[in-house]
Structure 1
């Protein structure tokens, strides 16, 4: 299984710098090797993990209105496409797309999903792109019948960025979609902290396996010697910044090597592995308003989650 990193040496430097910081941290893109991608699919099916089923219910309940934002000869671009389960709800109702570009960091997973899509939608031109979309990438230029571009970014993945990173990423999407373009995006809403904490601390321990897989991957691909049994998954809610933070806590004083570098961990010291920001509608409007206008939005009956359609602001 391969995961695409455009410059592996750059990633190694990033990992070493992150583990040298006062608050040790690691890039969450390391979660998604093939095993990590499969674990995340399992997480999406958990009772506690409301995000996926809630977003799917919003899509299902409002699909006619959502696909109505498309026009003939629209190019659909998706960042972090994964298994494309949500995308299929759109594709089932869109027969006049100029093409679909799924972008994902897990190369083998991406190509398997794309082949299945080609079998299911024989008239759809699919152009899979294996890339780390958190870095600058060259999206294929599709000239055939492209009159408009819409990006699909579901799953509340925008919440994994810091606020400044999210703004930068939205700027990239706006530039890619251009005049007349748009963005369909899912984001998680602020809610009761107990509901939030349960979603990231499931009883079956799948999220814990997912988090620890990051260390397993460092051992396998980057020459590290983490003892996985000496670290424990925790998730906490940072009320001030309105975000869930996932950590791996050292269960003892220990040292870990990555290549020639050694890192010391005190008992109770943590590695921050992921943010998951939660937004109010007003907060998301403020986040996106430099580059987009919110045209429509849809929520569930509990106001747990939101899908919004944003149009690119003309500059």
Structure 2
């Protein structure tokens, strides 16, 4: 079967004509996007600058912040362009690129959450062996796996999708996704669907199992520990649990919407999209900044240092 040209033009139909409401949504999207970029970059800078944060837990958190930037930037700049543009169009190539990075963001977030859960398990359940187990080489290997596995798997998915021949050219969604391209193709590909199921099992299901098992073991150890140890374990794990649960619920709602989309209003899709592509990248750094004492102290230290530097410059002028 001949596949469609990468120059094929696809038209988004969900945005409607440009008007005051679109400009309002543009302003809101632009504001949240800038905030998301700022909080993630700021957290990354704090972790990079403060040597006390050069530990496995915060290195994984740095990776999660980078992933948040990828997720936000994969979708929202194009959404903003469509909101104020008279013609909401995209080439198939641009659509596939957007699909790749948005799916990489979701799958890489799950793999990163799983290695963070494993790190917390080793830290709390095997504290005396922590530095023996979580060596720099082990951290690099876990980070590599958390990124390379989604990168290679999603690359194959996008390649298979690119080989489809399209018979429809309109997309009633905010951004490009694999299921929509399958629905407008001339024939459903069993290989594309099968590979998508494999990705869900290996890059979503398996990481979730790792997180659940890790925290089941942590809970088992914590119940036998002292009150102080329980409080320390809770303060260490709560940011990860909050951010993971938020992301897992968002992707669950996203999957449910696509299963029952013919019976749900378009507004539900927009809310779910915001929940998975705006809220996690924006809230994750804030939650870690507020709930993690070591990061909170380093943020205060960094802000005070920059304030003194700025005051020194003003005095010299």
TM range (shorter): under 0.3
Larger radius of gyration: 2
Q: Report which of the two has the higher share of helix.
A: 2
